[in-house]
Structure 1
Amino acid sequence: MRSVCCSAPQLAGLTPYDPKYLPAEAVLSANENPHDVEQEVRHEIMREVKRVALNRYPDPLANDLRDMIAEANGLDRDQVLVGNGGDELLFNMALAWGGPGRTFLNLPPTFSVYEANARLTNTTVANVPRRADFSIDEEAVLARVAEGGIDYLVVTSPNNPTGELAGETFVCRLLDATDALVMVDEAYFEFSRQTMRPYLGQHKNLVILRTFSKAFSLAGVRMGYLLGDAEVIREFVKVRQPYSVDAVSQAIARVVYANRAKFEPGIRAIIEERARVVDGLKRIPGVKPYPSDANYVLFRLENAGIIWEMLYGRGVLVRDFSRAPGLEDCLRVSIGSREENDAFLRALRDAVMGKCDLEVPSA
């Protein structure tokens, strides 16, 4: 007899997403911005939050914020949708374009949530693996969409966790080659300075995902948004949860977006530090960093899992991908403050050169 508490069959074998949230002196594992929101902007946020009527439901679609984002991107309000972080919008895509009898095209290794969302919605997953250097196998992708039967796909640019941009020419060829919905995940585009935004008017099947979590230092607030064709956005609206973005988050995001130019020096500092970290990694024997256009760097070395433990023993938390398919022996480090980056490079060099003991602190 079946248990009354038996969950849906598609959950079998699924592992919950685990960001490995652990205490550390230098948290360099979640691609967060090391610079918090500056005090002047925080004061303005507090003034705005004080005006929020906490006893009233928020604007369901965050229309004031939609208007701000639309104006900045030369779009209309109905071409923008705000979500509870990019994660809600990613799940909404699987709800609206996936399901039984439908297919998601995945380009692994990439953000694992894409495939998890497809499986949660009983969507078939078709994989076209990346090349050994983590670049997209462009001709293989185009050949697969030419076969038909693909309903949606995500091209992450820069890709997480590998760091490289998708080629603009390739994305345009892909958009021309298929009627499937093509999401370009630009969560890190402020660090790459590259966007597919100019092509929105030419391709109805293009939708762009962005977030406030990285460049705008709001990982703790949960705010993401889409840019796309108005008809596509309406399909997303059909599946979103009512009032998914609370009034306080909307107020914070409005202030931050109005002051987004003030975040530019911090973004430039991260880009400069990224180059310095890559150079530092290249100087450590046996470490191979991969090129990155984001605020993190993937690198490969022998015994990566043991090295991760050694780093954590020194108070430095990075992301361990060493057992993930296609990412064997890889770790990913987020770009932190200069001091955090120095601590990471020192600890890594000592670990590789055998100068530190394997000592893992209790969580």
Structure 2
Amino acid sequence: MEPDAVRRVGREPHGSSDDPDLVDFSANTNPRVPDGVREVYAAALDAARTYPEEPPRAYRDAAADYVGCARENVVSTPGGLAAIRLAIEVSVTAGDDALVPAPSFAEYAREVRLQGATPDFVPHDEILGTDPSEYALAVVCNPNNPTGECYDPDALRAFADRCARAGTPLLVDEAFLGFTGSPSLAGRDGVVVARSLTKLLGLPGIRAGFAVATGDEYERLAAARRTWNLGAPALAVGEHCMRDEGFVADTRRRVRRERERLRRALDEHYDVFPSDSPFLLLDVGSRDVGEVVGTARERGVAVRDATTFRGLDSHVRVAVRTREENDRLLEALDV
């Protein structure tokens, strides 16, 4: 990182609430977890008396099977954001420009700025038509957060090919891709994929994820990665969860069904964005966003003030949870 940039770059706001009296729709994490997680975590405490295997073979095997790539392409990281930081650190230096979507996850721009570089914001739905040749790095979020839609797979692959021809690494954040049936770009030359296990598997506090890359991109990630960067419980739980194909399939079906039910109900009162994700972005129109968020909170529900995303000024984002919880959301929003 660039030392002067570290002193002037601030933090970014995020969703999630730790208030036990609120149902949290502000963070897009699965309200359910795979069976057996508690037992796996407890058993891993004995393994934590020694350093984890370096690099962690079993975890990388599970990750490779999870996204359909070779184990030799997997770099373990403590969460998806750590994979994003690692990819930006090894690709961007002071004075560079990076291509960043907007509105989208604010940490992309923050990490670029921490390197002393400049994020060049492009509308998220136009970024695949951008010329990547003048940039040190291009970033895509698929599906995009907070808008929720996946990119057309052919268009995304074509953009990846243009980035590769230009010599511009492409970072694809697939934090929510596991909720969809869309294909991963993991293992494609010139692409660094960042994956988070915490969203789909409902365990944000575990801090488990990974990056996937090939060739020179992989070599730089592997060399820069901190040794023993995941503890034994995170490795064991992550491996266990990635092997539970039934849980993933059940989650996809539930989210798809409940998202459509929520969309139909909310669309009578709000402008609801199309979504392939476990969340919906709502334009509240002339309503005051602060009042919408505050009223929902008074009724026991936390929703995300989406005006903190670049370019959004009348929006909230809501997660898709269980049927019973989703009914509480609709009541809290007067739907």
Same fold (TM over 0.5): yes
Are 1:175 and 2:163 counterparts? no
The CA deviation string for residues 140-162 of structure 1, in whole angstroms up to 9 with x for no partner, is x13xx2xx331111111110111
Matches of 1:37 and 1:167, distance apart in 2: 30
Select the residue among 18, 30, 35 that pairs with 1:33: 30
Structure 1 residue 264: Cα displacement: 2.2
Contact preservation (8 Å) 1:282, 1:289:
yes
Give the corresponding residue for 1:125: 119
Give the secondary structure class of the aligned counterpart of 2:210: strand
Give the corresponding residue for 1:10: 5
Give the corresponding residue for 2:109: 115
| Change in 2 beyond 3 A, CA 1:244/1:329 | same
Contact preservation (8 Å) 1:44, 1:255:
no
Give the secondary structure class of the aligned counterpart of 1:127: strand
Give the secondary structure class of the aligned counterpart of 2:266: helix
Select the residue among 271, 282, 295 that pairs with 2:278: 295
Instruction: State the one-letter code of the partner of 1:123.
Output: A
The CA deviation string for residues 317-341 of structure 1, in whole angstroms up to 9 with x for no partner, is 0110125431111100011111111
Structure 1 residue 97: Cα displacement: 0.2
Are 1:80 and 2:74 counterparts? yes
Instruction: State the one-letter code of the partner of 1:314.
Output: R
Contact preservation (8 Å) 2:87, 2:192:
no
Instruction: State the one-letter code of the partner of 2:11.
Output: P
Question: Taking every aligned residue pair, what percent have the same amino acid on both sides?
Answer: 24
Are 1:194 and 2:182 counterparts? yes
Instruction: State the one-letter code of the partner of 1:156.
Output: C
Matches of 2:61 and 2:299, distance apart in 1: 46
Structure 1 residue 20: Cα displacement: 4.6
Give the corresponding residue for 2:51: 57
Give the structure with higher Rg (CA): 1
RMSD of aligned Cα (Å):
2.1
Give the corresponding residue for 1:93: 87
Matches of 2:309 and 2:84, distance apart in 1: 21
Gaps of 5+ in 1: 1-6, 351-363
Select the residue among 221, 225, 235 that pairs with 1:240: 225
Matches of 1:225 and 1:20, distance apart in 2: 22
| Change in 2 beyond 3 A, CA 1:124/1:109 | same
Instruction: State the one-letter code of the partner of 2:134.
Output: G
The CA deviation string for residues 262-297 of structure 1, in whole angstroms up to 9 with x for no partner, is 34213311221111111111122xx10100111000
Give the corresponding residue for 1:312: 297
Matches of 1:174 and 1:344, distance apart in 2: 38
| Change in 2 beyond 3 A, CA 1:160/1:234 | same
Q: Which of 74-83 and 308-317 deviates more?
A: 74-83
Give the corresponding residue for 1:104: 98
Structure 1 residue 167: Cα displacement: 2.1
TM-score, length-scaled by structure 2: 0.90
| Change in 2 beyond 3 A, CA 1:342/1:189 | same
Give the secondary structure class of the aligned counterpart of 1:226: strand
The CA deviation string for residues 222-270 of structure 1, in whole angstroms up to 9 with x for no partner, is 1111222143222112222221111111111122222232342133112
Structure 1 residue 19: Cα displacement: 2.5
Contact preservation (8 Å) 1:60, 1:245:
no
Contact preservation (8 Å) 1:305, 1:322:
no
Give the secondary structure class of the aligned counterpart of 1:31: coil
Contact preservation (8 Å) 1:85, 1:222:
yes
Matches of 1:21 and 1:69, distance apart in 2: 26
Are 1:275 and 2:260 counterparts? yes
TM-score, length-scaled by structure 1: 0.84
Select the residue among 321, 332, 345 that pairs with 2:330: 345
Count of matched residue positions in the alignment of Structure 1 and Structure 2: 327
Structure 1 residue 68: Cα displacement: 2.4
| Change in 2 beyond 3 A, CA 1:65/1:138 | closer
| Change in 2 beyond 3 A, CA 1:20/1:77 | closer
